[in-house]
């Protein structure tokens, strides 16, 4: 298996080339998932000359096995759960609530750090391109898409450089349009398809948000 992208910047530039029909449109906004998705989203927003915003999502990990997702939460109070995981592991409602409260605190902390006082962009009536650096299980992206749709956009476009084919297909029900550059088999993990998949820092997210094109009024 050879990497498909040099790094997230390269991935964002390649993704933007598939989204050129949205260039210079005042109703379009790119919404990226921190952290890694913001590096990809910044390149998309810059190439299309449209504003960039973030939508913070946190995975809800299984107690004692936090790397295993039992669901996710997103800005705006959206919560997505995996009933099969909950049932198989006997997860209680108290355990779910404890994880949601803990991750909710971290979500709000990150949101404040990234925005540095800048208000979120109003997504109502807009075409929203939701970007991440890849899709594995899709739990965080599903939560993000539902949080975006709760704001009543005109159109929701899911855009990622790479994803697991079953996940990309499933999430087609959550978006009006899906753009995914590669669905390799076997997939294994997002990071395998990047030569450089270094962690994105909070400082980088805040910096990219401050340098992205300024928002315009829709319509």
- The per-residue b/e assignment along 153-187, b for 16 or more CB within 10 angstroms, e otherwise, is beebbbbbbbbbeebbeebeebbeebbbbbbeeeb
Class of domain 8-56+123-211: alpha beta
**Whole-number Å distance between alpha carbons of 212 and 41:** 10
Residue 138, SS3 per DSSP: coil
CATH class belonging to 59-113: alpha beta
State the DSSP code for 162. Answer: E
- The answer to whether the predicted template modeling score (pTM) of the entire model surpasses 0.85 is yes
Chain segment 19-71, per-residue pLDDT in tens: 999 999 999 999 999 999 999 999 999 999 999 999 999 989 898 888 788 99
Please report the sign of the dihedral spanned by the C-alpha atoms of residue 181, residue 84, residue 81, residue 149: positive
Structure confidence by residue, pLDDT tens digits, 145-192? 999 999 999 999 999 999 999 999 999 999 999 999 999 999 999 999
Report the phi/psi class of residue 14: left, alpha or beta, with left for phi > 0 and alpha for psi in -120 to 50: alpha
pLDDT for position 218: 42
CB within 8 Å of 128: residues ≥ 6 apart: 28, 29, 30, 31, 148, 153, 155, 156, 157
* CATH topology match: 8-56+123-211 vs 59-113: no
- Give the domain ranges of the chain: 8-56+123-211, 59-113
């Amino acid at each position: 298996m050879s990497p498909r992208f040099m790094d997230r910047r390269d991935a964002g530039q390649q993704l933007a080339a598939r989204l050129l029909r949205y260039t210079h449109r005042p109703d379009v906004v790119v919404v990226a998932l921190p952290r890694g998705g913001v590096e990809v989203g910044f390149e998309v927003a810059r190439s299309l000359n449209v504003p960039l915003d973030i939508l913070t999502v946190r995975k809800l990990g299984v107690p004692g096995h936090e790397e295993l997702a039992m669901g996710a939460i997103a800005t705006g109070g959206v919560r997505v759960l995996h009933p099969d995981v909950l049932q198989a592991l006997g997860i209680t409602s108290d355990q779910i609530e404890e994880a949601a409260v803990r991750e909710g605190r971290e979500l709000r902390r990150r949101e404040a750090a990234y925005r540095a006082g800048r208000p979120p962009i109003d997504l109502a009536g807009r075409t929203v391109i939701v970007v991440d650096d890849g899709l594995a299980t899709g739990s965080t992206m599903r939560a993000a898409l539902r949080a975006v749709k709760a704001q009543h956009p005109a159109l929701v476009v899911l855009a990622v450089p790479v994803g697991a084919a079953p996940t990309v297909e499933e999430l087609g029900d959550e978006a009006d349009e899906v753009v995914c550059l590669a669905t390799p088999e076997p997939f294994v993990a997002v990071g395998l398809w990047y030569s450089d998949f270094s962690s994105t820092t909070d400082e980088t997210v805040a910096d990219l948000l401050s340098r992205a094109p300024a928002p315009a009024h829709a319509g």
